[in-house]
Amino acid sequence: MNSRPDVHSSGSAGVSIALGLATVVLAAGALWFARDMSMLAAIFPRTIGVLLLIFGCCLVVQALRGRERVSPQAPGHWGRQLALVVIVLAWSLTLKWLGFLASSVLACVLLMGIAHFHAWSARRVVVYLVTLLLIIAGFYGLFAGLLNVPLPRGRFWG
């Protein structure tokens, strides 16, 4: 990661236009859904909605006038990044019915697989798996045992 300093840089004019339009849509949505609220509850979201509408339009205009800085995005392993997003999202959605421990072990093992870029050896697999399971067990024990956090057990395990 240390070789990728510009990974969060501003996008191209096209991206800025899209972002501006998305802001306008978000603002319009905020204003639309605020129409049924009482006056007191609506005053703040409406004000923000109007401001976002103005900012979105300004961004589109600035992008069209070529005021937006264009920086190339750093290359990366899109497949791995997408896989990470899918795994973490699936993990969050299955916490309740698969159980905290089972879903976490499964997700962490999969994440270990996508975060490793070199060849696997049998010894490395065992060492990494044992380390990972010990870390999970340690934190699980801390939260469930010491801090009394009621972590979901899952519907499959009774």
Partner 1 sequence: METLGFMLAALSPFNLLLAVAGVAAGIIIGSLPGLSATMAVAVLVPVTFGMPTESALILLGAIYTGAIYGGSYAAILVNTPGTPSAIATTFDGYPMARRGDGDLAVTLSTLSSVIGGLVGGLALFCLAPLLALVALKFGPVEYFWLAIFGLTLISSLSEGSTLKGFIGAGIGLLLSTVGVAVVGGDTRYTFGSQFLLGGVETISALIGLYCIPVLIELVATPSEHLKPPEASRGVRFREGVTLMFKGKWNALRSAIIGTIVAILPGAGGSIASLVSYSEARRASPRSEQFGKGEPDGIIATETANNATVGGGFIPTFVLGIPGTPPDAVILGALLVQGFRTGPEMFTTNASVTYTFMGGLLVATVLMLPIGLLIGRYAFKSIVSVPKAILVPTIAFMTVIGTYAIRNNPFDVVVMVVLGVAGWLLARWGIKPSPIVLGLILGPIAEQGFVQGYLMGNATGSVAGVFFGRPLSLGIIALTVLFALYPLWSARRKRTHGEVVAHEQST
Residue ranges in 105-134 that form contacts with partner 1 under rule CB under 8 A: 107-109, 111-118, 128, 131-132
Rounded to the nearest whole angstrom, what is the least distance from the CB of residue 9 to partner 1 in the complex? 7
Among 33, 64, 141, 155, binds partner 1 (CB under 8 A): 33
Interaction pattern, residues 40-59, with partner 1; x per rule: CB under 8 A = xxxxxx--xx-xx--xx-xx
Angle in degrees, CA 55, 60, 65, rounded to 5: 120
Query: Is 60 among the residues that bind partner 1 (CB under 8 A)?
Result: no
Angle in degrees, CA 40, 42, 46, rounded to 5: 135
The number of residues making up the chain comes to: 158
Please say which residue, 2 or 158, places its beta carbon nearer to partner 1: 2
- For the stretch 10-16, contacts whose Cβ atoms lie closer than 8 Å and that sit 24 or more positions apart, written own/partner, are 10/68, 10/69, 10/70, 10/71, 11/68, 11/70, 11/71, 11/73, 12/68, 12/70, 13/63, 13/64, 13/66, 13/68, 13/70, 14/63, 16/59, 16/60, 16/62, 16/63, 16/68
Query: Is 152 among the residues that bind partner 1 (CB under 8 A)?
Result: yes
Interaction pattern, residues 78-107, with partner 1; x per rule: CB under 8 A = --xx-xxx--xx-xxx-xx---x---x--x
Please say which residue, 57 or 158, places its beta carbon nearer to partner 1: 57
Rounded to the nearest whole angstrom, what is the least distance from the CB of residue 158 to partner 1 in the complex? 19
Please say which residue, 3 or 158, places its beta carbon nearer to partner 1: 3
